Amino acid sequence: MRREPPEPGGARTPDRRPPRLALRLLRRLLPGHRGDELVVDLAEEYAGRAARSPWPVADVWYWIQVLRPSTTRLGRELSEVRTMRVGRHRVPGVAPKGLFDVLRYEARLAFRSLRQRPGFSTLVVLTLGLGIGANTGIFTVVSGVLLEPLAYPDPDGLVVVGLGPDLEGPATSMSLPDIVDLEEGASSLTTLVGYSGSTATLTGMGDPTLLPVGRVERGLLSTFHLAPVLGRDIAPGESGAAAAAVAVIGYEFWRDHFRSSPDVLGETIVLNGASYEIVGVAPHGFDFPDHTQVWYPRQIDPDTCARSCHTWYTIGRLAAGATVPGTQVEADAIATRLSQAFPETNLDKTFEVRTLQDVVVGRARRGLWLLLGAGLAVLLIACANVANLVLARAEARRGEAAVRAALGATRGRLIASMLSESTLLAVLGGAFGLALALGGVVVLRRLSAGAVPRIEMVTIDTRVLLFTLGLVCGVTFLFGLSPALRASRMALATGMRRSGRGVTSGGGRGLRRILTMTETALAIVLLFGAGLMLRTFAEMHAVDPGFETRRILRFDLYLPEASYPDLESIRSFFRTLEGRIAAQPGVEAVGSIYGAPLGEGRSSGHVFVDGRPEPPPGQEIGAVLSSVGPGYVRTMRIPVIRGRDLTPADDRSGTPVSLVNQAFAHAVFGDADPIGERVRVTVNFGFGSPYWEIVGVVGDVRASSLTEEPVPEIYVPQGQDGPGFMTVNIRSSRPARGLIGVVRSEVRRLDATVPLRNVETVTDAVRRDTASTRFLLAMLGAFAGLALVLAAVGLYGVMAYLVSQRVQEVGVRVALGARPGAILSLLMRGGLGPAAAGVGIGLLLSLAGGQLVEGLLYGVEARDPVTLGAVPLVLLVVAVLAVLVPALRATRVDPASVLRAE
């Protein structure tokens, strides 16, 4: 009921009207009936002034009145007035018009309306929070592990070249001549440096400690675009046959051991009994590879195996503008050339170029993206649930929307009003989710230790916050827009007519069916993934590793070469130690090995049989060479299948003998008896004879991983050949960890300069080996469980709603004599139909997406029929329960009371 300023020609109306623009602005500032009071007052006064003064004076005055702060304040005051008295009636206050005012107004309305329905609001915020929290948590890991660049300058240009193809695992090692040829031949590489990570015993600086060290072909710093903070890096000429006794130390080592003294250059450190002169200090934070703090030149014996010894890892830098695929093309060409030039060592050898980031992240990549996908699926289910709730609520409030529409609210305004509620819910859900993620990341870090690299880098940062914000926006539109559009259309078309009657429109039911179907389908996909991981986990645990895994404590010892220069000193150290430990109460057996299963350090080479022609290049049989103490096979309960075990008498004075595993026997001798045969292996530990007589065949062990098939292995007695690095295994009749203290003191008693390393139980090693599967299983399992619960809650909600809408119909049917069974099946068909369709769609999706998880499975196919059969069953049982409860309630409807209500 807007009144215009007085018309010209009236009793008190002058000829002139206020400036049109100013009037429009004033109307915008002062909306509604109450605002007209001032509009008219000002128009009257303007007319008076315009009649008295020359032209622009009144206009200027009018503009000043419009732009006064008090005018804006009046607009605000008026919008605060919720109800006003018009005559004898109280009517709703005036709604604001400016965009900002509308937003504020709608936000306040939304808040108020959500506070009035705490049950609904809490359910929605919890549901969304769980979905958003799961995603934010996983994305935090993805962001920290996969997206965060490595903490080196220009990390994108750092590459690793290994022997290919090895698409998923860490890079393999190379031979030094190949590395040199690659660096010289590939123009897209500015540097390619060989190194090998190792450990060395540091003495002369307090207690002896084992340090991670890098033995390098030359300094690594320039490849990383770094410069030493003090002194220089290792020069190219310093490695080689007579390696220079110089070392570069890490910044942290410099700080901790030399108090950051600038006079450190020229000092010496003693590693493995040898002295190295410090020539440089690496910059802060540089610890490549693997937390290395000391780098020194690696000795290269020109007479050893050269191109056939793959003992070097590489780190290189791409030239400006070069790409990994381009470099790969060059590497392929070089590999072909070398294959022709050196067929005896390089036949079919290929090189594989990968970024350092890729190598570091490795296998974790696929699992993490998979989990992020699973998280999004959970969020979609949550959205579908919430959309259902919002839809039901919008229908319940159809009357309210219709009244607003009748009073002149536009469709856009109605949509905005409903969306603002959704936005508020999403924001609250996002805040709750973020809080969940904050706690979740702590749990994730612990859960994924050992399963995901760089997990310590993971924190909630700006990228994560932006991701969450994006989720909140996406979620708002997903669950809010469609119900808002529908409800606004309904309000305009049918709202008034139907308001108050419990009849659901066909369109609403359709949308609801689609939502139910979607969430069922997604839940099936998640359950399927979790099912496959569960089967994988079970298969892994069913695997017989071939050795005892319980109650065995083990630790590594590294005897420095300076104190233990020959085999006899090493042998006598380990025999004495084994004897002393074996005498401890509770110890059943003790045995040492170089090349422990699921442990560090394994050497492999080619095998040749004495008296047989050597196979042509490329067709040799490879085997892993281990050196074992006399009690090892017994300690690990590896069965001796033929012949005999090794004994303490197998030492330098006797014939060189060996044990082989079944895989070896089969690969080299087929069905023939290997006992008594003599074999030669192309690698040794520096003391061995060329030929080993096989005296026994032992059972296969899965030494590199539980999921990898056993490979040919040959065990030689440590008394005849072995390195100073051994793993001592102790089988105990009590919990193995109880022995740690005794073991430490025994080692110290024998040689106080030898530190213990990697003290663990074999059970720990098995856990580490299955860590990534356990992590994936735990996460996918949690997501699938969440999905199942959400889907069940969703189904229950929809069913309860549908039933409540059909109470009258049921009442009439019961009155007309329908049996409870018939009513039940009628109602359940309505609820279970979409669920069944969702199951079908979900199964199809699972089959199609199977190859995404293929690389993460073990012992199970991506189309595993057991999982395919079990998952729909689980879901259907849950669905029937969710639908049954409200349907049963409906059958107990009292027809009389329903008809009375009619």
Partner 1 sequence: MAPHDGLTELEQLVMLSAIRLGDDAYAAEVRRDLGRAADRKVSAATVHVTLVRLERNGLLDSWETNPEPVRGGRSRRCFRPTREGVEALRRSRAVMDRMWDRVRGHPRLREA
47 is a contact residue toward partner 1 (CB under 8 A): no
* DSSP letter (8 states) at residue 263: G
Can you tell me the distance from the alpha carbon of 460 to that of 144, in angstroms, rounded to the nearest whole number?
A: 9
Strands 268-271 and 83-86: unpaired
252 is a contact residue toward partner 1 (CB under 8 A): no
Return the structure tokens found at 600.
């560090």
Smallest distance, partner 1 to C-beta of residue 526, A? 54
Question: Per-residue contact track with partner 1, 16 to 35, x per CB under 8 A?
Answer: ------------------x-
Smallest distance, partner 1 to C-beta of residue 370, A? 59
Can you tell me the distance from the alpha carbon of 257 to that of 274, in angstroms, rounded to the nearest whole number?
A: 18
Greatest Cα pair distance, the chain, in angstroms, is 135
Smallest distance, partner 1 to C-beta of residue 60, A? 14
Residue 98 exposed, middle or buried by CB count within 10 Å (0-12, 13-18, 19+): middle
Can you tell me the distance from the alpha carbon of 871 to that of 857, in angstroms, rounded to the nearest whole number?
A: 17
Containing H/E element for 785?
helix 771-805
Using CA atoms, how far residue 505 sits from 39, 481, 492, in Å, is 45, 18, 14
Answer for which of 2, 21, 24, 37 binds partner 1 (CB under 8 A) is: 37
Answer for which of 22, 50, 78, 739 binds partner 1 (CB under 8 A) is: 78
- Of the pair 1, 542, the CB lying nearest partner 1 is at 1
57 is a contact residue toward partner 1 (CB under 8 A): no
Spatial CA neighbour of 279 closest among 244, 303, 327: 244
Smallest distance, partner 1 to C-beta of residue 482, A? 39
- Of the pair 3, 550, the CB lying nearest partner 1 is at 3
48 is a contact residue toward partner 1 (CB under 8 A): no
Answer for which of 86, 443, 465, 881 binds partner 1 (CB under 8 A) is: 86
Can you tell me the distance from the alpha carbon of 748 to that of 756, in angstroms, rounded to the nearest whole number?
A: 9
- Of the pair 44, 751, the CB lying nearest partner 1 is at 44
750 is a contact residue toward partner 1 (CB under 8 A): no
287 is a contact residue toward partner 1 (CB under 8 A): no
7 is a contact residue toward partner 1 (CB under 8 A): yes
237 is a contact residue toward partner 1 (CB under 8 A): no
- Of the pair 13, 704, the CB lying nearest partner 1 is at 13
Answer for which of 27, 49, 63, 74 binds partner 1 (CB under 8 A) is: 74
Residue 335 exposed, middle or buried by CB count within 10 Å (0-12, 13-18, 19+): buried
| Phi (first) and psi of residue 749, to 5 degrees | -65, -35
Can you tell me the distance from the alpha carbon of 92 to that of 94, in angstroms, rounded to the nearest whole number?
A: 7
Return the structure tokens found at 563.
């104190």
- Of the pair 43, 765, the CB lying nearest partner 1 is at 43
Answer for which of 40, 675, 740, 750 binds partner 1 (CB under 8 A) is: 40
Q: What one-letter code names the amino acid at 680?
A: R
Using CA atoms, how far residue 530 sits from 539, 790, 867, in Å, is 14, 16, 9
- Of the pair 48, 639, the CB lying nearest partner 1 is at 48
User: For residue 281, what are the β-bridge partners?
Assistant: 230, 249
- Of the pair 96, 362, the CB lying nearest partner 1 is at 96
User: For residue 159, what are the β-bridge partners?
Assistant: 316, 355
Answer for which of 51, 81, 227, 442 binds partner 1 (CB under 8 A) is: 81
How far, rounded to the nearest angstrom, does the alpha carbon of residue 474 sit from its chain's CA centroid?
22
- Of the pair 91, 329, the CB lying nearest partner 1 is at 91
Stretch that binds partner 1, among 10-18, 148-156, 207-215, 435-443 (CB under 8 A): 10-18
Q: How far apart, in Å, do the first and last CA atoms of the chain sit?
A: 39
- Of the pair 46, 254, the CB lying nearest partner 1 is at 46
Can you tell me the distance from the alpha carbon of 691 to that of 656, in angstroms, rounded to the nearest whole number?
A: 7
60 is a contact residue toward partner 1 (CB under 8 A): no
Answer for which of 6, 98, 283, 643 binds partner 1 (CB under 8 A) is: 6
- Of the pair 112, 497, the CB lying nearest partner 1 is at 112
| Phi (first) and psi of residue 472, to 5 degrees | -60, -45
Q: What one-letter code names the amino acid at 363?
A: R
Stretch that binds partner 1, among 62-70, 288-296, 331-339, 858-866 (CB under 8 A): 62-70
Smallest distance, partner 1 to C-beta of residue 24, A? 17
Q: Which residues bind partner 1 (CB under 8 A)?
A: 3, 6-7, 10-13, 34, 37-38, 40-42, 44-45, 65, 68, 70-71, 73-74, 77-78, 80-81, 85-87
